[in-house]
């Protein structure tokens, strides 16, 4: 393991231990200091972000991905506001989940405690740098961040400012750490930091997440990849369906809760697909369709293959499948979903109930856009990611998911 990782791991472990006795009030003061300093130093942040964006453009990164990287005064203000919202959230550390007194007189309490040191490997989005740091801090964890090289200058200044802010409030600045070695070797070594990291959370595209899942020896919480579906049922309100699909696809196509796949019941396909194609004209959404989709909409629709049905485009692209019946829709979605967010548009109560029972995803929607899968929209405050697995957390991960439990057992001399 390289020397930077060993140094970061050692400092982070020590800092995490120091947080065990830090009060909620002191953590909140540190968070407010972070929010204030980010706004005060917005010019410095924007200058470094401008250089990152110029480099990204020179390296041929697509504009839709550059948008994930771009900061503005408004976006910095929104990030600072999200930090202040974390201050208002209840501190999960020390909360007693349950307790009981045994027949032998032992008192057993199950309390929430920090995970310890959290590692984050992620791509592009500078807001993740701040979200991860402040959520970990509020839950009394230290964090080691490894962002993408395209956002390195932005991430570096954000971390520098956050470390300065927490140190002003008397906390160890090493509760927030950034890995500056962006080589593949260092990233792979970070996945194997047993003894330093308590958990590793990847956040980004399918390639990054699979690389972490396949190479890590520390515990991993798999997040993020979103091949999200919207199924338009035979009984759907078609105008509502157009609005939902349009929002889910085009409001921000580069995020993991955007719709990537459209499934349509054959009973409404002849009417609905031309309506949808018209809505997609202005944002220039490229459609990949099955044979029936191409028959209805014409050869301007590109043929969909297994590759398109399985792909998280993160772009103005969508796959389309016309199905014979409800069961075929469920089978198609469960075959290609990444278990993130899937939706049915229907006026059939029974189909809605069966869809929510049979679709194996972290968030299942009835008559609403998949874009709502978000910690803030779910009332959790900021999120550290969307877990698409079933252990130890699933769906938007808020503060509580950054803790584990400890049993506190008190007796008066009992022996076994």
Q: Rounded CA gap, 150 and 56, in Å?
A: 6
Would the pLDDT of 65 be above 90? no
Banded model confidence at residue 135, pLDDT cuts 50, 70, 90: very high
pLDDT for the residue numbered 3 = 92
Q: Tell me which of 10-14, 103-107, 224-228, 264-268 is least confident.
A: 224-228
Maximum alpha-carbon separation in the chain:
81
Answer yes or no: are the C-beta atoms of 125 and 70 closer than 8 Å: no
Domain residue ranges of the chain, discontinuous segments joined by +: 3-220+385-410, 228-372
Class in CATH terms, 3-220+385-410: alpha beta
Per-residue pLDDT reduced to its tens digit, 98-129: 999 999 999 999 999 999 999 999 987 899 99
pLDDT for the residue numbered 204 = 85
Banded model confidence at residue 23, pLDDT cuts 50, 70, 90: very high
Phi then psi for residue 199, to 5 deg, are -155, 150
pLDDT for the residue numbered 381 = 76
- CATH code at 228-372: 3.40.309.10
Residue 20, CA distances (Å) to 16, 219, 268 in order: 7, 22, 58
Would the pLDDT of 224 be above 80? no
Name which of 404, 361, 384 is nearest 136 in CA terms.
384
pLDDT for the residue numbered 380 = 84
Phi then psi for residue 54, to 5 deg, are -60, -45
69, burial (CB in 10 Å: exposed 0-12, middle 13-18, buried 19+): buried
């Amino acid at each position: 393991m390289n020397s930077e990782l060993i140094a970061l791991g050692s400092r982070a472990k020590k800092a995490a231990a120091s947080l065990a006795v830090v009060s909620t009030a002191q953590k909140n003061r540190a968070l407010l200091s972070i929010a204030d300093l980010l706004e005060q130093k917005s010019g410095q942040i924007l200058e470094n972000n401008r250089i990152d964006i110029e480099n990204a453009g020179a390296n041929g990164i697509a504009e839709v991905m550059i948008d994930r990287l771009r900061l503005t005064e408004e976006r910095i203000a929104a990030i600072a506001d999200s930090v202040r919202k974390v201050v208002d959230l209840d501190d999960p550390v020390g909360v007693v989940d349950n307790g009981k007194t045994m027949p032998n007189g032992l008192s057993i309490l199950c309390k929430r405690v920090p995970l310890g040191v959290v590692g984050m490997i992620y791509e592009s989005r500078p807001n993740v740098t701040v979200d991860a740091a402040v959520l970990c801090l509020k839950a009394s964890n230290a964090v080691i961040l490894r962002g993408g090289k395209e956002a390195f200058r932005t991430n570096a200044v954000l971390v520098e400012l956050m470390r300065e802010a927490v140190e002003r409030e008397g906390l160890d600045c090493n509760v927030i750490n950034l890995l500056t070695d962006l080589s593949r070797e260092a990233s792979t070594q970070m996945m194997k930091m047993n003894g330093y990291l308590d958990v590793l959370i990847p956040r980004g595209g399918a390639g990054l997440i699979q690389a972490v899942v396949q190479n890590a020896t520390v515990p991993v919480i798999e997040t993020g990849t979103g091949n999200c579906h919207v199924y338009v049922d035979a009984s759907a309100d078609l105008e509502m369906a157009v609005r939902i699909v349009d929002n889910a696809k085009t409001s921000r196509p580069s995020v993991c809760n955007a719709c990537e796949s459209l499934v349509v019941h054959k009973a409404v396909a002849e009417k609905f697909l031309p309506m949808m194609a018209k809505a997609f004209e202005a944002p220039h959404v490229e459609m990949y369709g099955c044979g029936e989709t191409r028959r209805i909409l014409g050869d301007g629709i590109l043929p969909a293959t297994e590759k398109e049905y399985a792909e998280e485009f993160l772009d103005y692209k969508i796959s389309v499948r016309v199905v014979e019946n409800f069961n075929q829709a469920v089978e198609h979605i469960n075959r290609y979903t990444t278990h993130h967010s899937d939706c049915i548009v229907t006026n059939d109560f029974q189909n809605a109930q069966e869809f929510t029972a049979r679709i194996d995803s972290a968030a299942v929607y009835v008559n609403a856009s998949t874009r709502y899968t978000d910690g803030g929209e779910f009332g959790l405050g900021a999120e550290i990611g969307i877990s698409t697995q079933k252990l130890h957390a699933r769906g938007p991960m808020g503060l509580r998911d950054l803790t584990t439990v400890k049993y506190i057992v008190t007796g008066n001399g009992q022996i076994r």
